[in-house]
Amino acid sequence: MTPSARGPAVERSASNSARLAARWESRVQRSAHPLVYPALRAVPGPLLRVPGLGVLVRDPELVREALMRPEVFAKNGPGTSSDLWTPVLGEKVLLNMSGQDHQLLRRKLSPLFTPGFVDVLSRKSLSSPLAELGEKLASGEPVDLVQQAHLFSSVVISQLVGLPAEQIHNDRLYQSIHEISGTVSLRKLSLAEGEVIAARRIMGDLSEHATLAYRNGDPDTVPGRMRELGLSEEEALGAVGAFALTGTETLTAYLPRLIALLIDSGWLPRLARDRSLLEPAIAEGLRVTTPVLVMLRRVRTAAQLGKHHFDAGERLILLGFRINHAAGRFNPVANPSAKLKQLWFGAGAHFCLGAPLAMAQIRLVLETLLDVAEELGPESTLRIRSRQTARKVLIPAYRQLRVSR
């Protein structure tokens, strides 16, 4: 093939790969929300009032403004995620707090999420299981990356609650958390009385370990470190529960989706050769997959948002995924995600406190896959052998993703 002919052929191949990646991402979303996802994709204009549901907002400037004004557009209250988590975790767990109390607790917790601390914590938790994963893939053994992500989550939860990581050899802790979140959907953002009782029992079992670690003051555990930072036992246990219950499911769903996206789009071998694109690739992955489709806010007092008036008590449904998808297909070089300023983690006072920990874990997992891909080379790179999407779940995810060389 002549050089002049090779260019268009390569471009067609890249375009086909991009379309494949986009189709599978859409399929993951539709499997999770077969009715809601298509309906939200069809929302016209910057916002749409839906009686009995709330105000759907898809304009990026309006979404960011709402997130930056928590004193008016509150994260807690009727119709928000606090309806789900407060009955399980209690009244003061950062997720459902606002104002000065929220700021004070966030300030106490912030040293736990410095780059140095989260990197050490993540490496301590994941080095051993990641080394095992790398060996399996390099040897040609097929690996279900969904099950691997469940195992990683169990190991990280063990660190959060003060259990020695060496005691974790399966995904038991993840499955405990999933038993709670697996009963929730976008159409049912609350737990029935029996589900609340079961969730409290599960969180109580986890809290036993966290309580012991806190009271022992072991600085090598997260609860012990929280005690050092001046958190009360109630604050520490609430924070541990919140991080385990909300962060675990989102990250566990994202990791296989990111890897599938990189393989489908043909970007995995390229990233293996050029690690300077690692950070843009992760950001682009978060933009394209948008693990959390919507963010919910309650209007506290009558207010203006842009040119639009809102009455007290209205519920805003912020369509973050529409904003993210509008930026185009996955492209770490162009990196359109940079303009969005990590909107998938929120903005303002409620920007996700655990984002540095999530990013540290994502980097470690992805670096392991890239090391294997680099060793194999472009002619024998990792491929998806089979996959199944998860149906009717809160966080869009794969149910299975088997990968091998």
Structure tokens at 263: 């393989």
Higher pLDDT among residues 304 and 188, named by residue: 304
* pLDDT value at 100 more than 80: yes
Question: CA-to-CA distance for 137 and 143, rounded, in angstroms?
Answer: 7
- The pLDDT of 40-58, averaged and rounded, is 90
Helix, strand, or coil (residue 54): strand
Q: Which CATH architecture has domain 3-404?
A: Orthogonal Bundle (1.10)
Contact of 171 with 147, CB cutoff 8 Å: yes
Q: What letter does residue 381 receive in the DSSP assignment? A: -
- pLDDT category at 189 given cuts 50, 70, 90 is low
Question: CA-to-CA distance for 202 and 224, rounded, in angstroms?
Answer: 21
What pTM value is reported for the model? 0.89
* pLDDT value at 255 more than 80: yes
Q: What letter does residue 75 receive in the DSSP assignment? A: S
pLDDT of residue 91: 77
pLDDT of residue 186: 66
Higher pLDDT among residues 187 and 115, named by residue: 115
- pLDDT category at 2 given cuts 50, 70, 90 is very low
* pLDDT value at 3 more than 50: no
Q: Give the ranges where 57-192 is alpha helix by DSSP (H).
A: 60-68, 82-89, 99-109, 115-139, 145-161, 172-181
Strand partners, 304: 309
- Give kind and range of the element (H or E) at residue 48: strand 47-50
Question: CA-to-CA distance for 245 and 228, rounded, in angstroms?
Answer: 23
Q: What letter does residue 33 receive in the DSSP assignment? A: -
pLDDT of residue 249: 80
- The pLDDT of 344-348, averaged and rounded, is 88
Q: What letter does residue 74 receive in the DSSP assignment? A: E
* pLDDT value at 237 more than 50: yes
If you write DSSP's letter for every residue of 15-31 in order, what string do you get?
A: HHHHHHHHHHHHHHHHH
Closest CA to 315 of 18, 45, 49, 36: 49
pLDDT of residue 359: 92
- The pLDDT of 309-332, averaged and rounded, is 91
Contact of 170 with 154, CB cutoff 8 Å: yes
How many other C-beta atoms are found inside a 10 Å radius of the C-beta of residue 108? Answer: 18
Q: What letter does residue 112 receive in the DSSP assignment? A: G
* pLDDT value at 1 more than 50: no
Contact of 4 with 17, CB cutoff 8 Å: no
pLDDT of residue 185: 66
- pLDDT category at 232 given cuts 50, 70, 90 is very high
pLDDT of residue 11: 52
pLDDT of residue 208: 85
pLDDT of residue 300: 93
Contact of 290 with 321, CB cutoff 8 Å: yes
Report the percentage of the chain scoring pLDDT > 70: 94
- Domain borders along the chain are 3-404
How many other C-beta atoms are found inside a 10 Å radius of the C-beta of residue 237? Answer: 24
Structure tokens at 296: 């919910």
Helix, strand, or coil (residue 317): strand
- The pLDDT of 167-194, averaged and rounded, is 73
Structure tokens at 313: 């008590």
* pLDDT value at 110 more than 60: yes
Structure tokens at 335: 């990196």
- pLDDT category at 160 given cuts 50, 70, 90 is confident
Strand partners, 296: 317
Strand partners, 309: 304
Question: CA-to-CA distance for 157 and 240, rounded, in angstroms?
Answer: 9
Question: CA-to-CA distance for 37 and 31, rounded, in angstroms?
Answer: 9
- The pLDDT of 10-18, averaged and rounded, is 70
- The pLDDT of 281-289, averaged and rounded, is 94
Higher pLDDT among residues 330 and 242, named by residue: 330
Question: CA-to-CA distance for 281 and 335, rounded, in angstroms?
Answer: 8
pLDDT of residue 243: 82
pLDDT of residue 28: 95
Per residue in 54-83, pLDDT tens?
Answer: 999 999 889 999 999 999 999 887 878 777
If you write DSSP's letter for every residue of 159-220 in order, what string do you get?
A: HHHT--GGG--SSHHHHHHHHHHTT-BTTB-S--HHHHHHHHHHHHHHHHHHHHHHHHT-TT
* pLDDT value at 121 more than 90: no
Strand partners, 329: none
Structure tokens at 45: 């204009």
| Lateral strand order in the sheet of 383-389 | 143-144, 398-404, 383-389
pLDDT of residue 4: 42
* pLDDT value at 187 more than 90: no
- Give kind and range of the element (H or E) at residue 271: helix 267-273
Lowest mean pLDDT among 94-103, 116-125, 145-154: 94-103
Question: CA-to-CA distance for 15 and 266, rounded, in angstroms?
Answer: 10
pLDDT of residue 117: 87
pLDDT of residue 6: 46
